[in-house]
Amino acid sequence: MRLLLLVLVLLVVGAGPAAAAESDPTDDYMRRYQSEHRLPGLAFAVVRGDEVVHSRTWGTDGDGEPVTADTPFLLGSVSKPFTALAVMQLVESGQIDLDAPVRTYRPEFPAGITVRHLLTHTSGLAQWALRTDRFGSDAEELDRAVRELEPGRAPGEHEYSDANYLAAAAVVEAVTGEHFGDHLHRAVLDPLAMDNAVATPADAESLPAGHRYYLGHPRRFDPAYDASGVSYGYLGADLEDVTHFVTAELRGGRYGRAQLLSPAGITLTQKGAAEFGAGRYGLGWRESELDGERIVWHAGATPGFFSHVVLVPGSDLGVVVLANAYSPAVDGELAAAAFDLARIATGGTPTGAEADPLLAAALIVLLVVVLVLVARLAWSVRRRRRTVGRLIAGLVPCGALIVFAAWGFPALMGVGLGQTLLWTPDIGLALVAVIVLAGTLAVVRVVQFGISARPDNARPAADVLGG
């Protein structure tokens, strides 16, 4: 009996430190984060200087394979700091002047816009100055897209637009004579030993599918690769790759033996220049404060992926979060994780983020409208006598619903119906259902009126007179 008790005590004592070691506040937080947002796959890391002090990969990719440190994710707008770095390399080599007009390098470009305007989003190009997310495009599509650009207003005021970084990539191509993805590999990705980076259609063969949300549940999404969007959103990388980039940013542009940019150049890219509400936008980076400490950061998303990189220069700290699912409805909540990991790493307390109920409420309203239209259509298919007045009264709301669903609602979100279908497919499909049902109901009412107006369906005089 005493021997049995001794064994039990030794097991408890031996298991105690192991159990404590397994309970890590960073892992506990990210486990909840993955569960709450139903993220199929997740990768994250904490970097101090040139050392990765904590990293994890959980779940599966869009093809059902386990997520590892070598699994590539699309980086979304975290591509922009890479593009700015590539531009600044050419600035330091004397091939690009930050304050020269873009027309110096691309003569077809609108006048009055400088390279610096592009990198700080102060060019006057509107948020949706051109059609982005050109899936299946080739590298030549970037050149064609640039020719479509027209500024919405005079340069000076900050307005975030992917078009700026697409134009910046076109400047790089004009100066180097290389396709942007190829140049990015040679000048930035390869020196950083980013072995699984995705910047060309050939690279994209290794990229697994991502996920979009339908009614809060992720569903696989695997469009063709957008080769024209590398500079603003379609750069891909795995967790280890991104930690190399973070190390270079924390080490004044140096990774291993490679000096990608001078320390002064790195400082310039990270220094905020244009006010954007919650901070200042520099050359590819956002600068603001987190609990009183300066941070440099950028989040990004594509339809299917989310990423976030946060640098805390004063603590020599960097955080990377990569996920293979995204919806604008949970954008703020997804972005909160990297900020909270930085808080945990600096001894603070995570705060999370409040859910934005707007898109969820909009989806509920649209689904209710769909149900009402289905009920009205089922009721209206029964042949009923109609007058001109009742016909008009029935057609007006149908027309209003069609206009609102096709143009009004997407405009309130700042996009078109196509972008709504791409980024919020459940809302987009609900809008399409409203358009189809309202149109069908209008046709049914017109047909019914035509039938009721035929002479053989005329009401007897006694009915008309009330007899």
Contact indicator for 338, 318 with CB cutoff of 8 Å: no
Stretch 374-403: mean pLDDT: 82
Q: What is the pLDDT of residue 19?
A: 41
Poorest-confidence range of 283-292, 391-400, 433-442?
Answer: 391-400
Q: Is the pLDDT of residue 269 over 70?
A: yes
Greater confidence (459 vs 356) lies with: 356
At residue 13 the predicted structure's pLDDT band, cuts being 50, 70 and 90, is very low
Q: Is the pLDDT of residue 3 over 50?
A: no
* Element spanning 242, H or E: helix 239-250
CA distance 226 to 201: 8
Q: What is the pLDDT of residue 150?
A: 76
Stretch 39-51: mean pLDDT: 96
Task: Write out the two tokens for 277.
Answer: 């509400």
Residue 374 half-sphere exposure toward CB, CA atoms < 13 A:
8
Stretch 19-37: mean pLDDT: 84
Contact indicator for 155, 122 with CB cutoff of 8 Å: yes
Q: Is the pLDDT of residue 384 over 70?
A: no
Residue 285 half-sphere exposure toward CB, CA atoms < 13 A:
24
Contact indicator for 244, 55 with CB cutoff of 8 Å: no
Q: Is the pLDDT of residue 417 over 90?
A: yes
At residue 386 the predicted structure's pLDDT band, cuts being 50, 70 and 90, is low
Poorest-confidence range of 18-22, 84-88, 399-403?
Answer: 18-22
At residue 449 the predicted structure's pLDDT band, cuts being 50, 70 and 90, is confident
DSSP code for 103: G
Q: What is the pLDDT of residue 453?
A: 61
Contact indicator for 311, 295 with CB cutoff of 8 Å: yes
Poorest-confidence range of 68-77, 326-335, 424-433, 438-447?
Answer: 438-447
Q: What is the pLDDT of residue 467?
A: 38
- Gyration radius from the chain CA atoms: 28
Percent of the chain with pLDDT over 90: 74
Place of tokens 């637009």: 161
Stretch 291-309: mean pLDDT: 97
Task: Write out the two tokens for 446.
Answer: 């017109």
Q: What is the pLDDT of residue 354?
A: 85
Q: Is the pLDDT of residue 4 over 60?
A: no
Q: What is the pLDDT of residue 14?
A: 46
* Element spanning 394, H or E: helix 388-403
DSSP code for 256: T
Task: Write out the two tokens for 21.
Answer: 């070691």
CA distance 222 to 420: 17
Decide which of 3.40.710.10, 3.50.50.60, 2.60.40.2470, 3.40.50.880 is the CATH code for 26-345. 3.40.710.10
Contact indicator for 431, 367 with CB cutoff of 8 Å: no
Q: Is the pLDDT of residue 10 over 70?
A: no
> Residues 328-377: pLDDT tens digits?
999 999 999 999 999 999 999 999 888 889 999 999 999 999 999 999 88
- Determine how β-strand 305-312 pairs with β-strand 258-259: unpaired
> Residues 236-255: pLDDT tens digits?
999 999 999 999 999 999 99
> Residues 96-151: pLDDT tens digits?
999 999 999 999 888 899 999 999 999 998 887 777 888 877 767 788 888 878 77
Mean pLDDT, rounded, of the chain: 89
Side chain identity, residue 232: Y
Contact indicator for 284, 273 with CB cutoff of 8 Å: no
> Residues 313-333: pLDDT tens digits?
999 999 999 999 999 999 999
At residue 383 the predicted structure's pLDDT band, cuts being 50, 70 and 90, is low
Domain boundaries, the chain: 26-345, 358-464
Q: What is the pLDDT of residue 454?
A: 62
State phi, psi for 121 to the nearest 5 degrees: 60, 40
DSSP code for 66: B
Q: Is the pLDDT of residue 456 over 70?
A: no
DSSP code for 106: -
Side chain identity, residue 196: N
The DSSP result for 115-169, as a single string, is HHHHHTT-SS--TTSS----TT--TTHHHHHHTT---SS-TTS----HHHHHHHH
> Residues 165-220: pLDDT tens digits?
999 999 999 999 999 999 999 999 999 999 999 999 999 999 999 999 999 999 99
CA distance 189 to 54: 23
Stretch 304-309: mean pLDDT: 98
At residue 422 the predicted structure's pLDDT band, cuts being 50, 70 and 90, is very high
Contact indicator for 319, 8 with CB cutoff of 8 Å: no
Side by side, the strands of the sheet bearing 317-323 are: 51-59, 41-48, 317-323, 305-312, 293-302, 286-290, 280-281, 274-275
Q: What is the pLDDT of residue 21?
A: 45
Measured CA angle at 358 (ends 357, 364), to 5 deg: 85
For residue 428, what are the contacts with CB-CB under 8 A and spacing of at least 6? 417, 420, 421, 422
CA distance 442 to 22: 62
CA distance 408 to 362: 13
